Amino acid sequence: MASVTAVGVAAIGGWLQQGGISLIQSIFSDEGSPSPPTVAVSASDWATCNTWLIPGDVHPVFNTLKREIAYQQRNPDEIEKVAKDTLAETGAKVPTGESIEVTVQGKENKAVVLTGLEVVVESKEALTGTTMYFPMQCGAGVPLRSFSVNLDSHKPKLTLMQPLDPEQKPVNFPYRVSADEPEVLQLVSDSKGYVEWKAKLLWVTDGKKGFTEIADDGKPFVTFPGGGNSETQPDYTFHPFELQLTPGRG
């Protein structure tokens, strides 16, 4: 396990669709303290369009998916349910920190200026197990304010990702948010190992500085290789409609 390190990183952001969002709020008890923004976090914990880390041989998991999906006649909604059930039953994991959506909104019509993010790496380990990519119901495109971070770097920094449309120009921090003008931020991460990490969202309101922890319901996010944003190929790809398992990204 690596010791805890905190690294200041560049600003990130982007308007994105939300789903399965969990609410995280900072509470200040001292009188006169600034009112923090409301922050809601959506981790990349979905079973499809994601990479599974399987603690053992991939073939028993593949056989279960193949049998159950064939029984459901390959209906996309049923495939989603089979994927969720199989993920839980087999003890496989998904990289909850590969693509995180953070919705930030001010309170009581008071403007809050978001000034940046810090990444807090809590642990790093060598990757063990087998990775299997499950490409179904994946979106496309790069949001206007999407940034990526390589957690293997000595000092991880977020790099601005260019949208597919050359006419679109991404915008950096600072961002101003209020009760009527929320902002949705995106953080995309990658690693060749197994990394647990959180982030701090830095902000200023009423002339006072503060931060809000960004985490997965209080738990660290998990990042490992093999996903759609990763430079590392997964060990296997499962094709849910063809019911095939192929090496690499297939």
Residue 189, classified by CB atoms within 10 Å of its CB into exposed (0-12), middle (13-18) or buried (19+), is buried
Looking at residue 143, what is its pLDDT? 62
Give 121-154 as a DSSP string: EEEEE---SEEEEE--S---S--TTEEEEETTSS
C-alpha dihedral over 202, 217, 85, 232, to 10 degrees? 30
Entry pTM: 0.81
Residue 32 CB partners (closer than 8 Å, separation 6+):
none
Residue type at position 112: V
Residue 119, pLDDT > 70, answer yes
Residue 173, pLDDT > 60, answer yes
Of 39-53, 56-70, 82-96, 163-177, the range with the lowest mean pLDDT is 163-177
Residue 3, pLDDT > 90, answer no
CB 89 within 8 A of CB 63: no
Residue 29, pLDDT > 50, answer no
* Alpha helices (runs of H) in the chain, residue ranges in sequence order: 58-71, 76-90
Residue 6, pLDDT > 70, answer no
Residue type at position 249: R
Q: What is the mean pLDDT of the chain?
A: 83
Q: For the segment 146-161, what is each residue's pLDDT rounded down to a tens digit?
A: 778 899 998 887 777 7
Residue 101, pLDDT > 90, answer yes
Task: Supply angle C-alpha 119, 128, 102, rounded to 5.
Answer: 30
Of 10-14, 106-110, 238-242, the range with the lowest mean pLDDT is 10-14
Looking at residue 32, what is its pLDDT? 59
Looking at residue 4, what is its pLDDT? 36
Residue 107, pLDDT > 70, answer yes
Looking at residue 154, what is its pLDDT? 86
Tell me which residue has tokens 């690294």: 7
Confidence of residue 86 (pLDDT cuts 50, 70, 90): very high
